[in-house]
Structure 1
Amino acid sequence: MTYHLALSSFVNLEDISKDAQVGKRPVHVMFDVSRRLNATIHQANSDFLLPMHLICENIIGCRQDWHLAHNLSSKLRSDDVIFCADETVGLPIATLCGGRKKGPKVVVFTHNLNRVRGRLALKLFEIRKKVDLFMTANPEQVDFLRDYLSLPKQRVSLFPYQPTDTSFFTPKLALTQRSRPLIVSGGLEQRDYQTLARATESLDVDVKISAASPVKTVNSQTFPEVIPANMSYRYYDWNSLVQLYQDADIVAIALHENNYQAGLSTLFEALACRKPVIITRSPGIIQELIDAKAVLGVNPGDWQGLSQAINSLLKGSKQSEALARKGYQLVHERYNHRIYIKALMEHLTNI
């Protein structure tokens, strides 16, 4: 079989690999998978527009995704396997390339299709007939896809592995001299920094937040209208982000209720740095880690519970160390880039 990897946004994987080799950033798992499978990487980076693309992008993906799918539809054959890294590029490729007599096998990793446009795309484009294997890290997405599309179990795979680079995110001593404890958080997707602000504004702590991207738009529901004096947020580059984790006493991830497990990247990066983590309860991997006593869980929007959890860990060094130790252990046993790459390759070569 000939393997292909489709990404929904353009990234220079060669440059990323070079930077990772000299410790400037974490590895990109797709680069390693492509090398091991001798796979061709396809990225949506063209602005070429057909009328159909303009219509379809209002449902799922963007015009670049549909243009990529259009190009691949004349190239992929029955001896090809294409892995789509998310649904925004995956459903366009499935629509135009999948389900054909001499077409490729299509594998799509999904994050959140249980929403209006996702459900519409699944039905309108007859995706049930066109995707050979769905993969997702979310048990709720597994149930949704099997039920909504009436799929047999073998066509929807729970893939709980995480691409966290444990050679980049590592525990080290804090460099920053501080007069009081530091609470760290990160990311913007489904984040609830209003709850984190209320939980910490009266505590004798500093709160530093890493925004996921220097150009990401901040939602009005993400941050409070007035940022407390002890809270700050800004963009951190990769090395600064690692140092931020290493300086932290606690990593606190406050989330809005969601059905696609937001917050996992920040969670596992912090655990890889051997930091105690408090996170909003959510079904799936997060709840499993809470049950395993690898992280501490709080209810959505419960600022008092979050405040109490922070105080508890700051006062209880044994509890804090136990959480950090267990989380670090699980990252190295189950949730890291090496295991992710191996598991993904097994899925693709066994389809």
Structure 2
Amino acid sequence: MKVILVNNYSMTAQWEFWLKENYQCPSHHLWGATTLPKYGIHVDILPYEKYSLLKKISQKLKIFGDLDQQLRILFLNSEYDAVYSGHHLTTALLAFLRAIGIFKKPIVAIAYQSFQKKLSSQLYTKLFLKGHDKLFCLNNEIKDHLKDEFDIPAHKLEILEWGTDLPYYQVKNINHEDEAECSSRLILSIGKTYRDYDTVIKAFSQINCHLKICAYGNSLFSDTSGLPSNISIIEKSLSWQEILAAYQEAYAVAIPLNIRQDKPYNAIGLTTLLEAMSMGKAVVMTSNQFVGIDVEKQRIGIFVEQGDVQGWQQAISYLLEHPDETREMGNRARRLCEEKYNLEVFTSRLSELLKDVLRSQVL
């Protein structure tokens, strides 16, 4: 079986980075491209950009997805058994053409967000999403929302939980009980997509503990002047080894989210959550049911409501005051990744789903 992989960001850049690092970095952001071959599925990655004009048109007319990639696929489709999209909005036009019988190859896509229920989004899903042969939803919440609110047929929706390339997340045991003061413990907050760093900065101004924020792009911060001495912000892009070192150093991980009202059904924060879990770290996270992992039910962390400064103070203070429980939260998180949220489990399930789609074309 041979598939062509596209996404809403450059898969070729991810692949080249992986090669540059001599395979010594995680590859889960390639969505199975590095691991599917062991299941007899060859993956070719379509270069992200060829025609800049089509890219610009796509940015203006987002409802059609990435026209640059999709129109090139129209001339390549005979070479592949299926189109595999890492983002279900990227292949919107192809899905429409598939629905009306023009595009003949099956199309499958990862779905990690849904939409507000309104006339425009209902029309959009009917025209541009239902044409996918399968949508691989990262969790039940997204699957149920697409099915119940937008009437996407249940047989087109499958659960495909993501996971990290676990061997590259090396856990080192740190005895936090030996630390003399809470102030010597480090809370790490990392990431740049839909982050609410203003709230967590306000919270840590009243906590005797060091907060390190790693976020490439200073537009995330409304005002960084006069920061308390216990808060440091790293605004440069970090290498994989630097990211790994930051996680290893951390006592726990903070994931403050800004869940926008116009985009409330989105698995934002999932990448950082999975990385923290892989590193065996307890988390404090803005509540987001669409991330698909209930950190409190799984006893791996604490949820805080969006914008709740006092809630952040209470949650971080609880972890600092209970080092044994914090360590156990981290241990449970790591075990969850070993059992479920890892690239091997993801790829095994993905390979089954892809082969099922191809078999259904033969019947």
- TM-score range relative to shorter protein: 0.7 to 0.9
Corresponding residue SS for 2:184: coil
Aligned-pair distance for 1:324? 0.8
Match of 1:272 among 272, 278, 281: 278
CA distance in 1, matches of 2:131, 2:64: 19
Q: Deviations over 1:294-318 (max 9, x none)?
A: 2222222222121111111111122
Matches within 5 A, 1:184-203: 184-203=188-207
Match of 1:181 among 168, 181, 185: 185
Residues 13 and 31 in structure 1, CA contact (< 8 A), matched pair in contact too:
no
CA distance in 2, matches of 1:49, 1:333: 45
What RMSD in Å do the two structures reach over aligned CA positions?
Answer: 3.2
Aligned-pair distance for 1:237? 1.6
Is 1:146 the counterpart of 2:152? The answer is no
CA distance in 2, matches of 1:58, 1:121: 20
Is 1:94 the counterpart of 2:100? The answer is no
CA distance in 2, matches of 1:228, 1:282: 28
Residues 70 and 93 in structure 2, CA contact (< 8 A), matched pair in contact too:
yes
Aligned-pair distance for 1:106? 0.6
Match of 1:253 among 249, 252, 255: 255
Alignment correspondent of 1:171: 171
Aligned-pair distance for 1:241? 0.8
Aligned-pair distance for 1:285? 4.5
Which moves more between the two structures, 34-43 or 340-349? 34-43
Q: Is there any run of 5+ residues in structure 2 with no aligned partner, and where? A: 358-363
Which residue identity is paired with 2:232? S
Alignment correspondent of 2:109: 108
CA distance in 1, matches of 2:146, 2:36: 27
- The change in CA–CA distance for 1:302 and 1:5 in structure 2 (over 3 A counts) is same
Residues 192 and 255 in structure 1, CA contact (< 8 A), matched pair in contact too:
yes
TM-score for both structures, normalised by structure 2: 0.82
- The change in CA–CA distance for 1:143 and 1:61 in structure 2 (over 3 A counts) is same
CA distance in 2, matches of 1:26, 1:5: 18
Corresponding residue SS for 2:229: coil
Alignment correspondent of 1:42: 46
How many residues align structurally? 341
- The change in CA–CA distance for 1:34 and 1:292 in structure 2 (over 3 A counts) is closer
Match of 1:329 among 332, 335, 349: 335
- The change in CA–CA distance for 1:99 and 1:295 in structure 2 (over 3 A counts) is farther
Is 1:244 the counterpart of 2:251? The answer is no
Residues 78 and 102 in structure 1, CA contact (< 8 A), matched pair in contact too:
no
Corresponding residue SS for 2:158: strand
- The change in CA–CA distance for 1:54 and 1:195 in structure 2 (over 3 A counts) is closer
Residues 137 and 159 in structure 1, CA contact (< 8 A), matched pair in contact too:
yes
TM-score for both structures, normalised by structure 1: 0.85
Aligned-pair distance for 1:270? 1.2
Q: Deviations over 1:95-152 (max 9, x none)?
A: 4556426610011212334159995596388225521111221434323322454222
CA distance in 1, matches of 2:75, 2:256: 46
Aligned-pair distance for 1:13? 5.1
- The change in CA–CA distance for 1:5 and 1:277 in structure 2 (over 3 A counts) is same
Alignment correspondent of 2:360: none
- The change in CA–CA distance for 1:242 and 1:191 in structure 2 (over 3 A counts) is same
Is 1:158 the counterpart of 2:145? The answer is no
- The change in CA–CA distance for 1:200 and 1:316 in structure 2 (over 3 A counts) is same
- The change in CA–CA distance for 1:304 and 1:290 in structure 2 (over 3 A counts) is same
Which moves more between the two structures, 13-22 or 244-253? 13-22
Which moves more between the two structures, 292-301 or 5-14? 5-14
Aligned-pair distance for 1:217? 6.1
Residues 34 and 40 in structure 1, CA contact (< 8 A), matched pair in contact too:
no
Identity %: 22
Aligned-pair distance for 1:173? 4.8
CA distance in 2, matches of 1:128, 1:78: 24
Is 1:206 the counterpart of 2:210? The answer is yes
- The change in CA–CA distance for 1:90 and 1:347 in structure 2 (over 3 A counts) is same
